Chain A
Amino acid sequence: MVATPPNPNAWRTETPGTIDWPHTARAEDPNKYFMVSADTHAQEPADLWATRIDKQYRHRIPRQEVDEDGVKWSVTEGHRPTKIRDLKLEGEDQVRADAGFTVEERMRHQDEDGVDVELIFPNKGLSIWATPDPVFSQAMCRVWNDYAHETFGSHPERMVPVGAIAPGDLDGAIAEVRRVAELGFRCLSLPNRPVWGPGDGSELNYNQSFFDPLWETIEEVNLPITLHISTGKDPRGARGRGGAVINYAVHSLSQSLEPVANFCSSGVLERFPTLRIATIEAGIGWIPWALTAMDEAYHKHHMWAFPKMEALPSEYFRRNFFASFGEDPPGLALGRQFDLMHTFMWANDYPHQEGTWPHSAAAIERTMGDLTDEDRAAVLGLNGARFLGLDV
């Protein structure tokens, strides 16, 4: 049995040190790497959507319901109802849950963690795509975008909030892309599937030319696209024993393979060669396998594989894609071998429990000791800067 230790977070501070590192990730180091956290999360006010959504949609935003037995459930249009559990956090776990509610606190925390620039995603608002109605989803996206602009827009040197887009509402999506670009947003976020649902082949997906006008617009405004985990379909696909592990590994992280395959195998990136796309929080260890699998299918299923493309699916990934990760030793070990180091972007996932804040330097030292200084500089910040178009 793997027992829970008295301090379940003690491992977070363990580090082998930085012997022979010309630069480090330590905030106090004058030779600190330039660091971009390619995945952090806002702490939106709880009543943000209830107060700002178009009133025609207010009764549809998530809420708690009580059944006949007095059991409380969280009800979201695209999710299976989830029982509300009285979960009490303690110690450092509670510190993470309480962090980041003000811009000033965020900046102080990121300073202490060595982060120079953060790419900010919704937190509560990751549910804005959790509906099969893309027009409703777009309305929720607009609420986030307004809030994010108001809250983070005055610190462009440190904070890059994503502009949320619901692509299933194509005309609305194009209009919102143009609106957030005019507001000064420097990055977009789309769900892993364009319309929420389990996916049965009859639904819209990113491989279809239906979305060409959207890609054309995004190329025109020159904004990179992110695809965050747990968007596109219900990440709570399992219940009961092992559910937390099953849902995280299978129904949350591995969702990201679907949009990667859709973009890389369909010719979209041939027609729109300047798109920059990043999987977010899905890790990187799976990418060498996924690229190998896609190329294998393209070769071995040549009789079924269409369109015939100028390059292999893996080559489109290497040219157009990026991928964020936190602690992923398998991915880092394979990065050089599979020519992927230029695509990897580190993130501390502030302030989430899955992240490394406030001990990012120790996590980097545990996992990046075998990398060259050049590769560490790339994955810790320079790749993120290139993805976001930052001047470094």
Chain B
Amino acid sequence: MPEAQASKLVRSDSVGVDSITVHWPDSLNDFGRPMLWMASWLIGGAGEEGDWFFSGRIADANSGSDEGVGPHTVPAEATGIRVRRWPDEEFSPEYADVIPLRSDTIDIETLAFDRRQIHSRLRLEPRAADESPA
């Protein structure tokens, strides 16, 4: 995983792993600039979120000055993490959830941002999917 960024996450009994290393890819957004990423803790059973522990572009994280670089204590109530990314820099980010945290290493490049998520909020009217968007 060249050029990857690693964030060490410290053990949380509720998650069941000793620590988590997050490998951040150095992806580019739709405009050829470093991708904007964000990671937060998932808590509860309906996709609710707690605090976030990293937000920035990977170039920022590689500088070593961002708080996302250091070890983080996993909140006791954490059930997983939510990773957001903004390829188009608009309001609505793409996201992928990691539930539960089974491994001590998370490779962001392997997350399925292009699939329906467990806590999806998409509720389509029956005919909406067949029509051209306005």
Query: Which residues of A come within 8 Å of B, CB atoms?
Result: 46-47, 49-51, 55-56, 58-59, 62-76, 80-83, 85, 98, 124-125, 127, 236, 238-241, 243-244, 246-247
> Which residues from chain A contact B84 at a C-beta distance below 8 Å?
47, 50, 63
Residues of B within 8 A of A (CB): 31, 36, 38, 40, 46-52, 55, 82, 84, 86, 89-95, 113-117, 119-125, 128-129, 131-134
**Chain A residue contacts of B124, Cβ below 8 A:** 67, 73, 81
In the bound complex, residues from chain A placing their C-beta under 8 Å from that of B47 are: 59
Q: Are A64 and B116 also in contact (CB < 8 A) when A47-B36, A58-B49 are? A: no
Q: Are A71 and B129 in contact (CB under 8 A)?
A: yes
Q: How far is the CB of A251 from chain B (nearest CB, A)?
A: 9
Q: Which residues from A are CB-within-8-Å of B86?
A: 46-47
- Chain B contacts of A76 at CB under 8 A? 92
Which of A72, A81, A125 has its CB near the most chain B CB atoms (within 10 A)? A81
Choose among A69, A125, A247 the residue that contacts B134 (Cβ–Cβ < 8 A).
A247
Q: How far is the CA of A380 from the CA of B91 in the complex (A)?
A: 32
Q: Known: A46-B86, A62-B92, A240-B131. Contact between A67 and B52, CB under 8 A?
A: no
Do B92 and A243 have beta carbons less than 8 Å apart?
Answer: no
Can you report 8 residue pairs joining A to B where beta carbons are below 8 Å apart? Answer: A46-B86, A50-B84, A51-B55, A64-B92, A66-B115, A66-B117, A66-B120, A67-B129
9 tightest A-B CB contacts, nearest first:
A243-B134, A65-B122, A124-B91, A83-B133, A46-B86, A239-B134, A58-B49, A62-B92, A74-B92
Which residues of B have CB within 8 Å of A51? 38, 52, 55
Distance of A72 Cα from B116 Cα, bound (Å): 9
- When C-beta atoms are compared, the residue in chain A nearest to B51 turns out to be A55
Residues of A within 8 Å of B128, CB to CB, are: 80-81, 239
Which residues of chain A are within 8 angstroms of B55 by Cβ–Cβ distance?
47, 50-51
Cα distance, A59 to B79, chains bound together (Å): 14
* Contacts A59-B47, A98-B31 supplied; 8 other A-B pairs, CB < 8 Å: A50-B40, A64-B94, A65-B122, A66-B117, A66-B122, A67-B129, A81-B124, A243-B133
Among the listed B119, B123, B132, which residue makes an inter-chain contact with A239, where contact means beta carbons less than 8 Å apart? B132
Q: Complex formed: what's the CA distance from A83 to B119 in Å?
A: 19
Q: Within the complex, what minimum Cβ distance (angstroms) separates A98 from chain B?
A: 8
For residue A58, which residues in chain B have a CB less than 8 angstroms away from its CB? 40, 49, 52
> Most chain-A Cβ atoms within 10 A of its Cβ — which of B40, B86, B89?
B89
Q: Does the CB pair B49–A55 fall under 8 Å? A: yes
Q: Which residues of B contact A62 (CB under 8 A)?
A: 91-92
Q: Once the chains bind, are A68 and B48 in contact (CB under 8 Å)?
A: no
CB neighbours (8 Å) of A236 from chain B are: 134
Chain A residues with CB below 8 A from B129, complex form: 67, 69, 71
Q: Which residue of B lies closest to A45 (CB)?
A: B36
Does A59 contact B90, Cβ atoms closer than 8 Å?
A: no
Tell whether, in the assembled complex, residue B134 and residue A240 are in contact, meaning their CB atoms are under 8 Å apart: yes
* Closest Cβ–Cβ distance, residue A139 to chain B (whole Å): 14
When distances are taken between beta carbons in the complex, the residues of chain B under 8 Å from A64 are 92-95
Note all chain A residues with C-beta closer than 8 A to B31: 98
- Which of A50, A62, A236, A241: most chain B Cβ within 10 A? A50
Q: With A65-B116, A80-B128 in contact, is A75–B38 under 8 Å at CB? A: no
Q: Which residues of chain A are within 8 angstroms of B94 by Cβ–Cβ distance?
A: 63-64, 72
